[in-house]
Amino acid sequence: MGEVNVVAIFKESFTLIILFFCSVLSITFMIERWWYFRKSRGHGDPILAHVNKLLEAGKAAEAQTYAGKHTSAVGKVIHYGLLHSSRSRRDLEDLLHTKRLEERLQLERYLGVLGTLGNISPFIGLFGTVVGIIKAFRDLAMSGGGGPSVVAKGIAEALVATAGGLMVAIPAVIIYNYFMRQVKTVSTDMEVASTRLVVILGVK
């Protein structure tokens, strides 16, 4: 029985080519989201503490400038609140709420792609498995005889497709769940910082 050439199977399998592009997409968005979350993470307490000191010293403009230097989602919310600190309490709370929604939307960007890839990749692999088994039986029928060598190619393609689908899906699902947890954490931090900022500003 000849050896099974995985590279040859990859070249001949349209399903594996699709899975390859899925893996490239998944890795690309993983890196992009990791880099974005790296910049977006940050606690609001240190920013609020310094902003409070500046406000107590009557340096409102400096407080806005300081908050504007932070690239974290919490920093952006605080900076936005300081820009609209002259408004009424209700208006300020509404504006902060819209800003939090805006930042959350940016945090969730492309996560749907990772979730979709994690869901569909096993089915793409399953499709490749079915196609591989069909080829195996077709080769068996065309050969007119039995033997492992006749069906080895089709069975190998089927197994490789299954493995490929799982290799794409498992990391995508894990990273998707991790990033969704980060979204929840950052969203909570933004909400807490917003409430504390309104209290610090003392608007009515």
Torsion of CA 9, 14, 18, 19, to 10 degrees: -30
Into how many domains does the chain fold?
1
Q: What is the pTM of this model?
A: 0.81
List Cα–Cα distances, 1 to 9, 82, 177, in angstroms. Answer: 16, 74, 44
- pLDDT by residue (tens digit) across 160-184? 888 889 999 999 999 999 999 999 9
CA 150 to chain CA mean position, Å:
43
- 128 assigned to some structural domain: yes
- 1 assigned to some structural domain: no
- Distance (Å, whole) CA 58 – CA 54: 6
- pLDDT by residue (tens digit) across 115-160? 999 999 999 988 888 888 887 777 777 766 656 666 776 777 778 8
CA 139 to chain CA mean position, Å:
42
Domain assignment of residue 36, given as a range: 6-201
